[in-house]
Amino acid sequence: MKKIPVLLMGCGGVGRHLLQHIVSCRSLHAGMGVHLRVVGVCDSKSLVASVDVLKEELNDELLSEVCHIKSTGSPLSNLGASGGCQVFNGSEAKRETEEIAKLLGKSTGLAVLDCSASLETVEILIKAVDLGCCVVLANKKPLTSTLEHYDKLALHPRFIRHESTVGAGLPVIASLSRIISSGDPVHRIVGSLSGTLGYVMSELEDGKPLSQVVRAAKTLGYTEPDPRDDLSGMDVARKGLILARLLGKRIIMDSIKIESLYHEDMGPELMSVDDFLHNGIAKLDQNIEERVKRASSNGCVLRYVCVIEGSSVQVGIREVPKDSPLGRLRGSDNIVEIYSRCYKEQPLVIQGAGAGNDTTAAGVLADIIDMQDLFP
């Protein structure tokens, strides 16, 4: 049985689902000759670790308790040390996390998982890479920071996986990596990479006003608490940057042309969420309605897409033919079209649910299993 030591950073929705998947896959993975040995779990302030990370793991009951505590919104520190674990807080947690990476990185190997949504993990991730650990990210921020950070994280490309940073568990990164390693040059990628904006765009197509669609999306739980976090296009830009960097392009966030769906004077500093939803956004309805109609008269629909071509990444609304895979997309599915030598006239298309904690966590888990040959 191959044992893969795992340390999880971030136990929000994705992290908790991941722990649950790890536990529920025990017999499946045993059948594959693999055992995931969770030696530590962190939230932003604390680390829960097994007493002897070389020999012991956090048992499944403890992992369930971690999930329970975090699902109630409590901090991990509430767990309290018990026979099976130690709890470290604040700077001690950081120091101990690094200690575990040092201890396991070069000996048994360690998979450090980042399911947080913070840029603060980047330093420990870089140290972990340096210490011989594998790194799996669902967190986009470390990969969309400076090129210096990126180069350090991707120093050993086999030791880093990040399927769930783009399209949740959809096999976008894995497929693109295969295309790259087979020497098939990628000319162009077009993607609808936000479930929220995908939903918004396909509702607009039916003639509904933007303000109504966004309010409905928020009510349905499709948006971030502040829908402007979706409408700004930043999340899509991050995904585009990750794909572009995977293609070897030396691009930074600032060089991406991003079309925000709201105006600067409606930003979070100037307007509350409520004010934006009930007064601000309606001012955008007419312009969007006109664009929808213009697109329709061209046999097109509007999609909020990311286009990677040459050395440029562009993010914003585009008219796309109604009868293209992108134009036929409905609801919150993501879609990615990859054009290369092998997929020249008709692209390689990958489509499906591109959001959700369950599928995002599944993508992280698949990444870990996919890296198993790196462990002794």
Nearest CB to a copy of itself, comparing residues 205 and 289: 205
Q: Which of 62, 100, 170, 308 binds a copy of itself (CB under 8 A)?
A: 170
Q: Per rule CB under 8 A, is residue 373 in the interface with a copy of itself?
A: yes
Q: Per rule CB under 8 A, is residue 351 in the interface with a copy of itself?
A: yes
Pairing of strands 34-42, 2-9: parallel
Could you list the beta-strand ranges (E) of the chain: 2-9, 34-42, 46-50, 85-89, 111-114, 134-137, 160-161, 186-192, 257-258, 300-309, 312-321, 333-340, 348-353
Q: Which of 60, 184, 205, 309 binds a copy of itself (CB under 8 A)?
A: 184
Q: Per rule CB under 8 A, is residue 341 in the interface with a copy of itself?
A: yes
Minimum CB separation of residue 137 from a copy of itself in Å reads: 16
Report the alpha-carbon distance of residue 114 to residue 252 in Å, rounded: 21
Q: Per rule CB under 8 A, is residue 12 in the interface with a copy of itself?
A: no
- The residues in 136-165 that bind a copy of itself, with binding defined as CB under 8 A, are 157-158, 163
DSSP one-letter code for 255: G
Nearest CB to a copy of itself, comparing residues 294 and 341: 341
Nearest CB to a copy of itself, comparing residues 158 and 206: 158
- b/e map of 22-46 (b: 16 or more CB within 10 Å)? bbebeeebeeeebebbbbbbbbeeb
- The residues in 20-49 that bind a copy of itself, with binding defined as CB under 8 A, are 21, 24-25, 28-29, 32
Nearest CB to a copy of itself, comparing residues 133 and 371: 371
Q: Per rule CB under 8 A, is residue 376 in the interface with a copy of itself?
A: no
Minimum CB separation of residue 368 from a copy of itself in Å reads: 9
The piece of 140-148, 201-209, 314-322, 361-369 that touches a copy of itself (CB under 8 A) is: 361-369
The piece of 102-110, 224-232, 303-311, 359-367 that touches a copy of itself (CB under 8 A) is: 359-367
Tokens linked to 310: 């040459």
Minimum CB separation of residue 299 from a copy of itself in Å reads: 16
DSSP letters spanning 265-299: GGSTTTS-HHHIIIIIGGGGHHHHHHHHHHHHHTT
Report the alpha-carbon distance of residue 329 to residue 149 in Å, rounded: 35
One of 239, 257, 283, 293 is an active-site residue; which one? Answer: 239
Residue whose C-alpha is closest to residue 111's, from 71, 57, 63, 70? 57
Q: Per rule CB under 8 A, is residue 178 in the interface with a copy of itself?
A: yes
Residue whose C-alpha is closest to residue 14's, from 254, 343, 365, 373? 365
Report the alpha-carbon distance of residue 243 to residue 249 in Å, rounded: 9
141 catalytically annotated? no
Report the alpha-carbon distance of residue 200 to residue 208 in Å, rounded: 10
- The residues in 306-335 that bind a copy of itself, with binding defined as CB under 8 A, are 323, 325, 328, 331, 333
Helix H, strand E, coil C: the string for 72-132 is CCCCHHHHCCECCEEEEEHHHHHHHHHHHHHHHHCCCCCEEEECCCCHHHHHHHHHHHHCC
Q: Per rule CB under 8 A, is residue 203 in the interface with a copy of itself?
A: no
CA atoms within 13 Å, Cβ hemisphere of 372: 15
Nearest CB to a copy of itself, comparing residues 2 and 283: 2
Q: Which of 74, 182, 279, 287 binds a copy of itself (CB under 8 A)?
A: 182
Site map (CB under 8 A) of a copy of itself, residues 271-310, x = contact: ----------------------------------------
Residue whose C-alpha is closest to residue 338's, from 137, 160, 173, 154? 173
Interacting residues toward a copy of itself by CB under 8 A: 21, 24-25, 28-29, 32, 157-158, 163, 169-171, 174-175, 178-179, 181-184, 323, 325, 328, 331, 333, 341-343, 346-353, 356, 358-359, 362-363, 365-366, 369-374
What is the set of active-site residues? 239
